């Protein structure tokens, strides 16, 4: 095997270790510079992955086929790296709210990132489990990093227990698959797919694996944790959960479904149709009465998981392309929103803290507004085009089966409901009674640049989708339908 295949992951892990070591010789007041170091390092790796690393053509496998480096993996790794840069920069902004261990905070974020990157390359059920645990364990620590805040600890405990439960389902599923097929490698399992599809135990195993993954993407019925954990976790960690963890969950769902078990996927359209519809409705309906912004985003994250499931439920290549495209736009949209929350929602994340934001900082008000508009799916921003692709993919399937038409209608109803709370946020920014706190908000230069990049990316994805679209189309060639 070619060790260069692992270069991105190794670089990230190396960077994590370097940050951990340099932390030992860094004075407390300079610790935040470790964040800049980590961000700069990740940026270099991201640029390297865009320019130098292999294109994933042809797909290379290693570790007896456990690890695969193909277009799909690279597409997601780039999203993770970009999200990593933004999250680390948010972490720097957040430093005054992390009493101790700032260096470790960055290190664990980097390790978490490495876990996500391994997930993107997973080609074996064992690899799936390892990558999932690498992510989960990191998140246990990150979510409860503000040890003095009971919210943070409560969220950490909830995540730990529920995640452990779902990991139990996952590993039980893997055991059943191994028991029925004798193999854990995706390619090998897929080769015997038609025979195994008749086996109820194998189906049970596959379902349990999917349920385990559904926890990561916070889809019904494994969605309960999201609002509580999103609310309690430190804001940069919430951002990483929403962007990275969800994307990692989806890449695993795509791989399990369309690489390991394409034969089963054909019969499970109904499962995903129901899951998508219920997730959309649950997320959007529960978000209506929310006043806590991070909780609101938790429900919004559930609703968005539902939208993305539309692409999975379509069971066709355009659907998967739409999933990839939507996740790319979603990453930048959420990043910009969480950067604003990092700066604005310091003591409380009640929607009232947004009062008068347009006077306190027009830039933040604009960024938040654009973010919300993109989430609501209004042209010309990224969210609109992503939703358009998803809906198109579902409507293409409507010709095959009528239930897809209903699914599209439910999704549209969900979008309409979501306008209410997304625009509620915009209204709070511009039209609410002025709050007691009206001092201008200082925004550091790196965050300004980050927001600029995110906004530019939102417009770019919404207006000139061709480049990313063709990259996504190439990436899904790794899947079989």
Decide: is 149 part of the binding site for another protein (CB under 8 A). no
289 binds another protein (CB under 8 A): yes
By CB under 8 A, residue 167 contacts another protein: no
* Contact mark string toward another protein, 37..76, x via CB under 8 A: ----------------------------------------
**Closer residue to another protein (CB): 144 or 185:** 144
Non-local (6+) Cβ contacts of 188 within 8 A are: 65, 181
366 counts as binding another protein under rule CB under 8 A: no
| Site for another protein contains 404 (CB under 8 A) | no
Nearer to another protein by Cβ, of 141 and 285: the residue is 285
- The least CB distance from residue 285 to another protein, in Å, is 4
Distances (CA, A) of 31 to 41, 104, 343, 381: 16, 10, 19, 36
Site for another protein in 368-397 (CB under 8 A): none
In the block, residue with structure tokens 């892990």: 13
> Binding another protein by CB under 8 A: which of 207, 352, 395, 473?
207
- Which two structure tokens, joined as six digits, stand for 313? 């439920």
Place of tokens 């439960």: 165
The 3-state DSSP class for residue 68 equals strand
Nearer to another protein by C-beta: 107 or 136?
136
Output the CA–CA distances (angstroms, integers) from residue 416 to 4, 211, 280, 419, 433, in the order listed.
47, 28, 11, 5, 26
CA 58 to chain centre: 27
Number of residues that bind another protein (CB under 8 A): 31
Per CB under 8 A, the list member of 37, 98, 189, 286 interacting with another protein is 286
3-state secondary structure of 407: helix
Instruction: Read off the tokens for 119.
Output: 């997930």
As beta bridge partners, residue 62 has 67
Stretch that binds another protein, among 34-42, 189-197, 206-214, 346-354 (CB under 8 A): 206-214
**Judged by CB under 8 A, does residue 350 bind another protein?**
no
Count of beta carbons in the 10 Å neighbourhood of residue 208:
21
Of 209-228, binders to another protein (CB under 8 A) are 211, 220-222, 224-225, 227-228
At its nearest, how many Å lie between another protein and the CB of residue 257?
Answer: 14
Classify residue 65 by burial, with Cβ atoms within 10 Å: 0-12, 13-18, 19+.
middle
Give whichever of 68 and 257 is closer to another protein, judged by the CB atom: 257
Q: How many residues are there in the chain?
A: 481
**Residue from 39, 170, 184, 81 nearest 124 by CA:** 184
- CA–CA distance, 459 with 463 (Å, rounded to integer): 6
Decide if residue 427 touches another protein (CB under 8 A).
no
- Residue labelled with tokens 């919404």: 462
Quick note: the x/- pattern for another protein over 252-281, rule CB under 8 A, is ----------------x--x----------
Residue nearer to another protein on the CB measure, 147 or 267: 267
What are the residues binding another protein (CB under 8 A)?
157-158, 161-162, 165-166, 169, 200, 203-204, 207-208, 211, 220-222, 224-225, 227-228, 268, 271, 282, 284-289, 417, 420
């Amino acid at each position: 095997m070619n060790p260069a295949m692992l270069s991105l992951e190794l670089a990230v892990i190396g960077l994590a270790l370097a940050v951990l070591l340099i932390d030992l010789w860094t004075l407390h007041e300079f610790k935040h510079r470790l964040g800049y170091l980590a961000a700069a390092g990740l940026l270099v790796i991201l640029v390297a992955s865009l320019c130098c690393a292999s294109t994933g053509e042809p797909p290379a496998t290693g570790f007896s086929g456990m690890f695969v480096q193909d277009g799909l993996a690279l597409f997601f790794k780039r999203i993770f790296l970009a999200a990593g840069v933004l999250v680390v920069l948010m972490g720097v902004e957040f430093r005054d709210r992390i009493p101790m261990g700032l260096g470790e905070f960055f290190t664990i974020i980097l390790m978490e990132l490495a876990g996500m990157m391994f997930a993107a390359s997973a080609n074996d059920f064992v690899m799936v489990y390892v990558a999932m645990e690498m992510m989960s364990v990191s998140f246990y620590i990150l979510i409860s990093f503000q040890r003095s805040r009971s919210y943070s600890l409560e969220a950490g405990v909830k995540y730990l227990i529920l995640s452990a439960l779902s990991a139990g389902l996952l590993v039980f599923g893997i055991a059943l698959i191994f028991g029925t097929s004798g193999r854990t490698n995706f390619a090998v399992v897929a080769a015997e797919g038609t025979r195994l599809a008749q086996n109820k135990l194998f189906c049970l195993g596959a379902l349990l694996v999917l349920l385990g993954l559904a926890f990561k993407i916070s889809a019904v019925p494994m969605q309960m944790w999201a609002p509580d954990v999103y609310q309690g976790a430190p804001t940069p960690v919430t951002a990483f959960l929403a962007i990275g963890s969800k994307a990692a969950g989806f890449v695993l769902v795509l791989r399990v479904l369309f690489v390991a078990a394409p034969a089963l996927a054909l019969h499970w359209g109904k499962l995903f149709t129901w899951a998508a519809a219920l997730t959309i409705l649950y997320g959007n309906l529960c978000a209506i009465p929310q006043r806590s912004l991070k909780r609101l985003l938790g429900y919004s994250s559930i609703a968005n998981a539902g939208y993305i499931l539309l692409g999975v439920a379509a069971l066709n290549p355009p659907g998967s392309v739409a999933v990839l495209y939507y996740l790319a736009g979603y990453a930048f949209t959420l990043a910009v929103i969480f950067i604003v929350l990092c700066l604005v929602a310091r003591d409380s994340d009640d929607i009232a803290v947004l009062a008068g934001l347009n006077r306190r900082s027009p830039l933040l008000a604009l960024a938040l507004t654009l973010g919300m508009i993109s989430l609501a799916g209004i042209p010309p921003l990224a969210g609109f085009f992503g939703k358009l692709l998803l809906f198109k993919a579902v409507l293409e399937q409507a010709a095959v089966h009528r239930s897809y038409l209903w699914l599209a209608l439910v999704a549209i109803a969900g979008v309409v409901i979501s306008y209410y709370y997304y625009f509620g946020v915009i209204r709070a920014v511009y039209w609410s009674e002025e709050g007691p706190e009206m001092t201008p908000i200082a925004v550091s230069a790196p965050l300004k640049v980050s927001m600029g990049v995110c906004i530019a990316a939102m417009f770019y994805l919404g207006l000139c989708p061709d480049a990313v679209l063709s990259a996504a189309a190439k990436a899904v060639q790794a899947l079989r339908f």
